[in-house]
Amino acid sequence: MKKTVRVVVVDDSAYSRRAITRMLEAIPEVQVVGYATNGEEGIRRVIDLAPDLVTLDLEMPRMDGFTMLRILMASSPVPVIVISSTRGDEKVFKALELGAVDFITKPTGVASEDLLNIQEDLHEKVQAVFKLNIAQVLHKRLEPPRVEEVPVSQPAPRPASTTIDVVAIGSSTGGPPALQDIFASFKQVPPFAMVISQHMPGGFTRTFADRLNRSSGFEVWEARDGDAVVPGRALIAPGGKNLTFVEADGKVVAQVVDPTDKERYVPSVDVMFASAARIWKNRLLAVVLTGMGNDGAEGVVQAKRAGAQVLAESEESCVVFGMPREAILTGMVDKVVTLDQMPREIVLRCGLAPRFG
């Protein structure tokens, strides 16, 4: 029998509290055990009730969600899903850095039945709580990761005869902080390109790309039709869209396409891996990071059959070991690596000599 997930709802809107409570209690094994109207009250509820999960609005009177997150993660860490009307700005990613495991955007900032449109997304993200690596979530929040710079020199001898031109990364729950760690490790401009599909709704990936760009030697931006895939550049699939690639005028460029009805997760890692494999074949390195579900598994199979190399994040460092586990079960993963070792492994697989210390 599954353990009941006990939830505290924190939101200053009475309508939102009632609507979120109804949606949560429609999920088997979920029980709303309390609510709060601001961060100050929310901290008291968490301490008194010791819930398994908190849903949190960011903009509230007296004490906002950011302050509550800081205090919670320092004193009584617990998984938090942000449910806020904040759209496409830095606030959501600030919340993820402070400790939230995921976020959902309210359709509107005012009380409206439109809020019920988030029900499917809410159910899916709460289900991920059943599979969270709680120890890893809390460890990451209590002890911020130590980002080690990975300078590279080239050319460098390597056993394989083929150089990797493109690193394709897929991720979901826990992905934004993981990607931040990886990109922050590359302070110099690397001689290979990156393409990324992170499950995220529309309106957020441009801000996310800007954040990665500020901390990395890569030139990072949200992909647009016709963007060239070139060394030192990283393209992020736009939220709610799929990223594919075509050859045009002697170069490879991005294509941003709408998902099909059969693609449950978008941007689709499977679609990106498959398209990248057709173009780069054995010059591709596919990487599967933390996330719920099986997106990326079929893409890994196609990538490996085309001659690509494949890495997966280990259970030890994953927030949710869903996507990497499914990739590993295909038998097509070359190596399983913890997140802190992933930048080194990428550099080595790309045929470069890392310079450490």
Residues with catalytic function:
172, 199, 295
Dihedral over Cα of 184, 189, 191, 197: its sign: positive
The neighbouring-strand residues paired with 171 are: 198
Is the peptide bond between 155 and the residue preceding it cis, with omega within 30 degrees of 0? Answer: yes
- Return the residue matching tokens 């801000």: 207
State the DSSP string of 286-303.
EEE-SBSSSTTHHHHHHH
3-state secondary structure of 118: helix
3-state secondary structure of 240: coil
CA-to-CA separations, 341 to 147, 298, 314, in angstroms, rounded: 10, 25, 10
What number of residues does the chain have?
Answer: 357
Is the peptide bond between 267 and the residue preceding it cis, with omega within 30 degrees of 0? Answer: yes
